[in-house]
Homo-oligomer: A and B are copies of this chain.
């Protein structure tokens, strides 16, 4: 299958701004970049994404995939990002059928960043069948630890969400395949979706785990499920729709994951508990 041609238009991720603090002292702080990127599909304007700009081509690819506007990688001929005009030009090989209809319905959701889901995503939930796949408590701890030591834009500038894809093939370890940050966390997960698509069409997903710094909203759960990833971990909590959809899908949703603590909100049958690894001092924490 021919891969699409992609530019590699990474932009600087942080900016310095002047500040004044509570002592009246002037200083300089690093803040995350935030750039508008207007996506055109075959010269028709689709959407403007506000992004950090780390991997704009993967972001656009993942956005098209997660919005179900494109079903196969070979539909895309090229994605050309030009920051001078703040535009991503997508060229398809055969056009997108019913483009106007399929982008007409708008749902404003809870999530950060890509808060706009074009209609019909919820309709799809019923048709998703997730692969087998479990996670051991030791693997979960390895993931939390890998995130903890990661050097990030968040650490230097704050105000971004991070998202990572892990592969859990070893019994007590986890391999970080990709780590993406963006001003919107849905941009981060879309970027991962785009990257996954470029790797190989038949990449197995039963052994993959998503990690996000943001809340487990319905959108995060659905996007993970759409990509066939059956386990999602967050250091934040979960919303009601997120929990309900995870339960319905049989997706393992683990929140509040910091240090040795976590709460599994749904799909606990995918979690191989090893309570002997937990911190006995935290025994009373709910």
- What residues of chain A have their CB less than 8 Å away from a CB belonging to chain B? 15, 17, 19-24, 27, 29, 31-36, 47-50, 106-116, 137, 157-159, 183-184, 215, 217-218, 236-243, 256, 260-266, 268, 271, 273, 275, 277-279, 282-283, 285-286
Say whether A116 contacts B108, CB under 8 Å. Answer: yes
CB-defined contacts of A268 to chain B, threshold 8 Å: 20
Are A107 and B48 CB-contacts (below 8 A) given A22-B262, A239-B34?
Answer: yes
Say whether A20 contacts B264, CB under 8 Å. Answer: yes
Between-chain CB contacts (< 8 Å), 20 pairs: A17-B238, A17-B266, A19-B286, A22-B261, A22-B262, A22-B277, A22-B278, A23-B278, A24-B273, A32-B239, A32-B240, A34-B218, A36-B107, A48-B106, A106-B116, A108-B113, A110-B184, A114-B115, A158-B237, A159-B215
Grouping DSSP codes into helix (H, G, I), strand (E, B) and loop, the A interface class, with mixed when no group exceeds half, is mixed
Say whether A106 contacts B106, CB under 8 Å. Answer: yes
Say whether B237 contacts A157, CB under 8 Å. Answer: yes
CB-defined contacts of A256 to chain B, threshold 8 Å: 158
Query: In the assembled complex, how far is the CB of residue A99 from the closest CB belonging to chain B, in whole angstroms?
Result: 14
**For the complex, what is the distance from the CA of A208 to the CA of B184, rounded to whole Å?**
28
Are A159 and B29 CB-contacts (below 8 A) given A116-B116, A261-B21?
Answer: no
Seed contacts A35-B240, A183-B217; 16 additional CB < 8 Å A-B pairs: A17-B238, A17-B243, A21-B261, A21-B286, A22-B137, A22-B262, A31-B239, A31-B243, A34-B110, A47-B107, A48-B107, A49-B108, A50-B217, A108-B113, A108-B184, A112-B115
Partner among B159, B184, B278 whose Cβ is within 8 Å of the Cβ of A237: B159
Query: In the assembled complex, how far is the CB of residue A119 from the closest CB belonging to chain B, in whole angstroms?
Result: 9
